[in-house]
């Protein structure tokens, strides 16, 4: 029998510590080994027993979560899930934490906190389990829980393409679609910061809660030669621009004459995610066909696997990040098993493949 995942919760809110403990301890695969009100208390506990995963707030007394995270990643790299408030200030700090080595985000609002964590964070257990599998590298009995949502396919947003709906081929405009999840913030920074200003237009889904994607895009924009921003409904896709799907909405590529534009649409979660990589990839298969390149990168689960296969069947070139360079080799693995990946590449080789179109 496998040992349970030992989790340490570090948050200055007693309510958060209580609810997260209830939520995680309800799963037999997880053991909450302790909680701490701030990093100083946490270090005392960690001196006696080291956790497999740390769930960490970013704004705390005595030592902030970002300083604590950097200390952990420099001394003994450990998977860290950031539990951050849904505010602009919180989002900016959280993006710094993701850049410092945290693997995922759990969102929390300021109001109705307990109810939100119990009813809305249905993926919390999955996030912690994914974090336990993550490859991190050294860097400088409670209330009834809501059931997990049904796992819908991209059919919930877009019908699959028929012959008459397949992309027109009378264009040389290229589009690159990227999908990623756990570990993706660092992977996307590595890829996008290596691209030249004349790179083809990119449309991107990174699994991330609402209110964090704008700060993520802004952060990337400061370190990249290309322009990076959160997608707005009707944005045109063009050379030197990367559009990131806003959290809580699906991103769809559409063809408008000789141009590509994006639609930001509402709808249920697809493959348990919103935005969904499957939705984006299906739309790219329909709108761009063989003029597209699809790239699926690090992440847990199978979102994007079916969509990437549809892209390949529509004539697009398709790539998967290889296992060695993934933080979590889940999404690329499932896409490979399904036949959607034409070839796998290490993370450092993906920028050149985007420039070359294959």
Active site residues: 181, 207, 303
> What is the Cα–Cα distance from 335 to 346, expressed in whole angstroms?
16
Q: In sequence order, what are the residues at sequence separation of 6 or more whose Cβ sits closer than 8 angstroms to the Cβ of residue 289?
A: 166, 167, 168, 169, 314, 315, 316
Q: Does 275 sit behind a cis peptide bond, omega within 30 degrees of 0 on the bond before it? A: yes
The H or E element containing residue 217 is helix 213-223
Q: What is the CA radius of gyration of the chain?
A: 20
DSSP assignment, residue 2? P
> What is the Cα–Cα distance from 341 to 81, expressed in whole angstroms?
29
With contact defined as beta carbons under 8 Å apart, do 246 and 210 qualify?
A: yes
Best CA proximity match to 15, nearest among 114, 133, 142, 89: 114
């Amino acid at each position: 029998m496998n040992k349970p995942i030992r989790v340490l919760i570090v948050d200055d809110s007693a309510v958060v510590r209580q609810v997260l403990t209830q939520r995680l301890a309800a799963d037999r695969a997880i053991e909450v080994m302790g909680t701490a009100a701030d990093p100083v208390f946490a270090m005392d506990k960690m001196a006696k027993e080291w956790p497999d995963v740390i769930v960490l707030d970013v704004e705390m007394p005595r030592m902030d979560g970002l300083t604590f995270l950097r200390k952990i990643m420099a001394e003994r790299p450990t998977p860290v899930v950031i539990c951050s408030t849904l505010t602009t200030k919180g989002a900016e700090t959280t993006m710094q934490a993701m850049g410092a080595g945290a693997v995922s985000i759990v969102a929390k609002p300021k109001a109705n906190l307990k109810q939100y964590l119990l009813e809305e964070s249905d993926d919390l257990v999955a996030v912690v389990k994914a974090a336990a599998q993550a490859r991190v590298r050294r860097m400088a009995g409670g209330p009834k829980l809501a059931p997990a949502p049904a796992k819908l396919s991209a059919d919930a947003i877009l019908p699959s393409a028929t012959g008459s709906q397949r992309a027109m081929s009378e264009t040389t405009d290229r589009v690159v679609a990227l999908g990623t999840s756990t570990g993706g913030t660092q992977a996307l920074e590595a890829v996008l910061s290596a691209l030249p200003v004349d790179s083809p237009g990119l449309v991107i889904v990174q699994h991330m809660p609402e209110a964090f994607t704008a700060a993520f895009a802004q952060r990337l924009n400061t370190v990249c030669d290309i322009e990076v921003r959160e997608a707005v409904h009707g944005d045109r896709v063009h050379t030197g621009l990367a559009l990131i799907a806003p959290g809580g909405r699906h991103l769809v590529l559409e063809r408008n004459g000789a141009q590509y534009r994006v639609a930001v649409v509402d709808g249920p979660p697809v493959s348990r995610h919103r935005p969904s990589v499957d939705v984006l990839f299906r739309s790219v298969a329909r709108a761009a066909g063989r003029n597209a390149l699809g790239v699926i990168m690090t992440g847990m689960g199978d979102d994007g696997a079916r969509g990437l296969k549809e892209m390949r069947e529509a004539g697009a070139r398709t790539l998967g990040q290889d296992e060695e360079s993934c933080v979590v080799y889940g999404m690329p693995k499932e896409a490979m098993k399904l036949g959607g990946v034409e070839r796998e590449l290490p993370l450092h080789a993906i920028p050149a493949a985007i420039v070359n179109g294959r």
